């Protein structure tokens, strides 16, 4: 099985094209191949499959073997992959996702390659039970949560996958590895959750660090950046368009009040190609 190693702001994946469906033992393969010491290394596997509804279908298997409903960085990688490798010549394409349905993607081309990717991430889900959390409310806004003796306030947002956004004084230096895994499995979150720690620095910029459900700390999270922008607007901290600063770089996120859709713009890069030996 041939793959291409790609990343979106350091959130890295092994991209597979040409399979008709997921391999039967895909969870075990993800754990083995994503291992950074004994495998290729990555935050997950991404399979580009045929779709009856869109130009392509994307399935994402996290490094722990679980499946993710959606991933903003992965969809940018997939979009660049299919264009740069000649599987489409369109600059406006559609990609089917497990949790967010069919999403519209626009490619900016430079020297025959996709330079940046703008994704219509759809409408945020704000109803607490639908995110899902165990808490009623629409939205679940700045609600208290406690774990291991420490209290936080969180806002719940789903972008096709669930997010818990928490504001802290210094997100870039926050103790992500201590609090991320505890909050991921908190009883409020029946399907676990992605946790974003955010610090607002201006009306158009938020610094954010993420603990991803099923992958742990990653350098970037596209859906997390979208959730952070939505949360920041709901809490009155930012305008409806802002830069989200991640450890791997910046994403520009817009929440358009005309259609209620969230739009994400950012880069994707191919690193190398290889063969798994299977």
Question: Annotated binding site, which residues?
Answer: 11, 62, 72-73, 161, 194, 212-213, 222-223
- Residue 33, SS3? helix
To the query of whether residue 34 is one of the catalytic residues in this protein, the response is no
Q: 226 an active-site residue?
A: no
Catalytic, out of 77, 164, 221, 226: 221
Cα torsion through 57, 224, 145, 182, rounded to 10: 70
Q: CB-based contacts of 17: which residues, under 8 Å, 6+ apart?
A: 4, 48, 81, 82, 85, 87
Residue tagged active-site, from 71, 77, 164, 226: 71
Closest to 266 (Cα-Cα) out of 61, 77, 57: 77
* Residues 70, 74, 77, 82, Cα dihedral to 10°: -40
Query: From CA 222, how far away is CA 201, in angstroms rounded?
Result: 19
Q: How buried is 66 (Cβ within 10 angstroms: 0-12 exposed, 13-18 middle, 19+ buried)?
A: middle
List the binding residues for substrate: 11, 62, 72-73, 161, 194, 212-213, 222-223
Q: Which residues are catalytic?
A: 71, 221
């Amino acid at each position: 099985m041939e793959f291409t190693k790609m990343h979106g702001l350091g959130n890295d994946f092994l991209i597979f094209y040409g399979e008709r469906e997921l391999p039967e033992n895909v969870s075990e393969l993800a754990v083995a191949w994503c291992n950074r010491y004994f495998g290729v290394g990555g935050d997950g596997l991404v399979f580009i499959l045929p779709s009856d509804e869109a130009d392509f279908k994307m399935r994402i298997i996290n490094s722990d073997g679980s499946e993710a409903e959606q991933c903003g960085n992965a969809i940018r990688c997939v979009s660049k992959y299919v264009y740069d490798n000649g599987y489409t010549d369109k600059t406006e394409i559609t990609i089917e996702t497990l949790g967010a349905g069919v999403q519209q993607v626009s490619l900016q081309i430079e020297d025959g390659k996709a330079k940046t990717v703008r994704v219509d991430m759809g409408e945020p889900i704000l109803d607490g039970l639908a995110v899902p959390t165990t808490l009623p409310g629409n939205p679940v806004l700045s609600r208290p949560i406690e774990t291991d003796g420490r209290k936080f306030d969180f806002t719940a947002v789903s972008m096709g996958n669930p997010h818990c956004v928490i504001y802290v004084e210094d997100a870039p230096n926050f103790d992500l590895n201590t609090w991320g895994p505890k909050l991921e499995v908190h009883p409020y979150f029946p399907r676990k959750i992605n946790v974003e720690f955010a610090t607002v620095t201006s009306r158009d910029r938020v610094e954010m660090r993420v603990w991803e459900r099923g992958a742990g700390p990653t350098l970037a999270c596209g859906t997390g950046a979208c959730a952070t922008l939505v949360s920041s607007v709901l809490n009155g901290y930012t305008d409806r368009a802002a830069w989200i600063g991640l450890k791997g770089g910046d994403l520009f996120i817009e929440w358009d009040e005309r259609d209620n859709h969230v739009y994400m713009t950012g880069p994707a890069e191919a690193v190398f190609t290889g063969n798994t030996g299977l």
